[in-house]
Amino acid sequence: MPSLPARNLLALAGLSLLWTALGCKLGVSDVVRRSPEVGSGTGGSSGQDLRDASPAANDLGPWISPRIDGDNATYDAVVTGENETEAGPKNTVADTRSFAGPDSVSEAGGMGKVSGTCMEDGYQFCEGFEDGAARWAMTSGSWSLSEMGDGSETNMVFGPTDAVPGIAFVPTTAWQDMTVEARVMVTSFDQPSSTNRVVLYARYQDITHFYAVALRGDGKLGLRRNGTAFGTVANVSVAVNEWHVLKLRVSGSADNGVVEGSLDGTLLVTATDTSGSMTSAVGTVGLGVYGGALAVFDDIKVSSP
């Protein structure tokens, strides 16, 4: 009979052979990834809050979004100072975001269920919310999924549950030249005021650096840069509880960018930004409400030529 040390060596050799045999048969297809659904918790993303689980988690306190590993370098936008009111009540924050490099798409981006296909139609990112909203992070307020339909067919949509200024964005994707579009249904403007807005963001970097196109309660469509209006303004007719398609295109460099906003396929507002006020030429996609406005969003698509 082998001695005790010899038996131990034989056991270890047997385990090594078993591990090697199993390892050879395991591949990418054997790995199952699960993402939490958005629930009804406060602070926007429940099930798994992307922010620090601290007493200030429901405020716009410090937090770090997931970093992407890949061929492209990541970009960190760090802002310390007074929070822009577009994202909620004014608050002093240290706001850190990690984005993928220019024109890159992470595994968290890419394919979401929308009408038709995504990559085959030339889009870099699609979101239809049929599989939840785990890819989205919120700056403030509570956002949730809801079901809409005529009884014969239902559809999942995403939006804030109350009129709290806030932005939902995808922290793991970023592009430079980008066109983002979304189906938008305004459910309330509260009152006819430019302060009440439903917003679509492009090159969103943090709560104080972004471009946006906004449907306003005063019956106008306008552009926004870093929380202030700029560029042309157009009169539009948008009633509550009807679907419209918002589109925002941003191209060019950080100090010489062209911004174009469209409604239902018609280009209505344009601007050229030479202010140099953006921290970078790359950013992600975002959805938002401000003032007393409420809305739901669906079928978000991003293309990047």
The answer, as to whether pTM is greater than 0.85, is: no
Q: In the prediction, which pLDDT does 207 show?
A: 94
Cα(100)–Cα(72) distance, rounded to whole angstroms?
Answer: 7
Q: In the prediction, which pLDDT does 114 show?
A: 54
pLDDT at 33 over 50: no
Q: In the prediction, which pLDDT does 86 show?
A: 66
pLDDT digits (tens, 9 = 90+) for 166-223: 999 999 999 999 999 999 999 999 999 999 999 999 999 999 999 999 999 999 999 9
Q: Where are the domains of the chain?
A: 35-303
Phi, psi of 113 (to 5 degrees): -80, 115
Q: In the prediction, which pLDDT does 199 show?
A: 98
Q: What CATH number has the domain spanning 35-303? A: 2.60.120.560
Average pLDDT, the chain: 72
CB 85 within 8 A of CB 165: yes
Q: In the prediction, which pLDDT does 149 show?
A: 77
Cα(214)–Cα(186) distance, rounded to whole angstroms?
Answer: 11
Most distant pair of Cα atoms in the chain: their distance:
93
Q: What is the mean pLDDT of residues 30-42?
A: 30
Residue 173: strand, helix, or coil: strand
The more confidently predicted of residues 288 and 80 is: 288
Helices (H), the chain: 4-25
Q: What is the mean pLDDT of residues 13-20?
A: 45
Q: What is the mean pLDDT of residues 252-257?
A: 96
pLDDT digits (tens, 9 = 90+) for 89-132: 433 233 333 444 333 333 333 444 555 578 778 899 999 999 99
On the 0-12 / 13-18 / 19+ scale of CB atoms within 10 A, 74 is: middle
pLDDT at 295 over 70: yes
- Tokens representing 30 are 């054997």
